[in-house]
């Protein structure tokens, strides 16, 4: 059993070293940490290379010129994560943000669940810039479990808290064009073809600050029209994926 951790980075030097260390100390010699960088101009690359460890694979994300022009940075984040996911060799895949910190037993707790479920999402602590806990539980913000349609209309899957099987990855790739929420996509695909489990264990410290690409609390700045349009498109992207897999219309992946 091999574990793959996929991380997307962009100018994350401020917190990156602590996060990489919290991950590597939980991995075996046969596991891997795949980091896809989106053109960082700070010390991010130097920090990654300072970990002289054969388990670390650094990739450079080649951006789609069309995505460079879009308003929402989430498009680039999802594309960057997809670049890392395409190189996965493991049986169980964890996603990681560049600025969080894993609890020491995150892998140990989640792996047994992955033997039974397609995707597992853990709870997490919320911390500030100074590593101080500002919220004890992310799950306190929402009622779980919820169901597929609600998870499309009000996305709950938080990439840094999820882990999933290689089968889910094979079903989810390639990502739909201009996908905003890669974690929601992985979650709803797992729900459509397998079983999802939410666990109460707080297995990471999620850092909430102004530079986050995703929002945990507060109101979205997106217009109502954009929210509606995106959810409609997201729904039909999922329907298309279900038909592709159920009826084998197209290969699931192009790896």
Higher confidence at residue 219 or residue 152?
152
Please state the pTM of the whole predicted model.
0.88
What is the per-residue pLDDT across 192-238, written as a single tens digit (0 to 9) for each? 999 999 999 999 999 987 555 554 454 555 677 767 777 888 888 88
**Contact between 162 and 85 (Cβ < 8 Å):** no
Indicate whether 155 pLDDT > 50. Answer: yes
Share of the chain above pLDDT 70, in %: 87
CATH code, residues 3-246: 3.90.550.10
Local confidence band at 255 (pLDDT 50, 70, 90 cut-offs): very low
Backbone angles phi, psi at 155, to 5 degrees: -55, 135
Backbone angles phi, psi at 183, to 5 degrees: -70, -40
Higher confidence at residue 95 or residue 230?
95
Degrees, nearest 5: CA angle 18-21-23:
115
């Amino acid at each position: 059993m091999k574990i793959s951790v996929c991380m997307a980075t962009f100018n994350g030097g401020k917190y990156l070293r602590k996060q990489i260390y919290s991950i590597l100390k939980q991995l075996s010699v046969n596991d891997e940490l795949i980091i896809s960088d989106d053109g960082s101009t700070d010390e991010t690359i130097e920090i990654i290379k300072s970990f002289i460890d054969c388990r670390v694979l650094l990739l450079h994300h080649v951006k789609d010129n069309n995505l460079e022009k879009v308003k929402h940075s989430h498009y680039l984040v999802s594309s960057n994560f997809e670049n890392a996911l395409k190189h996965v060799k493991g049986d169980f895949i964890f996603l990681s943000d560049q600025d969080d910190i894993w609890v020491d037993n995150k892998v140990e707790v989640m792996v047994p669940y992955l033997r039974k479920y397609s995707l597992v999402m853990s709870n997490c602590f919320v911390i500030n810039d100074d590593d101080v806990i500002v919220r004890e539980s992310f799950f306190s913000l929402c009622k779980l479990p919820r169901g597929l349609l609600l998870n499309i209309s009000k996305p709950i899957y938080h990439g840094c808290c999820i882990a999933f099987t290689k089968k889910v990855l094979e079903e989810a790739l390639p990502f739909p064009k201009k996908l905003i929420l890669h974690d929601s996509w992985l979650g709803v695909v797992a729900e459509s073809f397998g079983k999802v489990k939410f666990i109460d264990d707080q297995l990471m410290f999620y850092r909430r600050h102004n530079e986050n690409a995703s929002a945990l609390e507060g109101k979205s700045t997106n217009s109502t029209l954009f929210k509606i349009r995106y959810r409609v498109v997201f729904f039909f992207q999922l329907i298309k994926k279900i038909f592709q897999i159920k009826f084998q219309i197209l290969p699931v992946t192009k790896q």
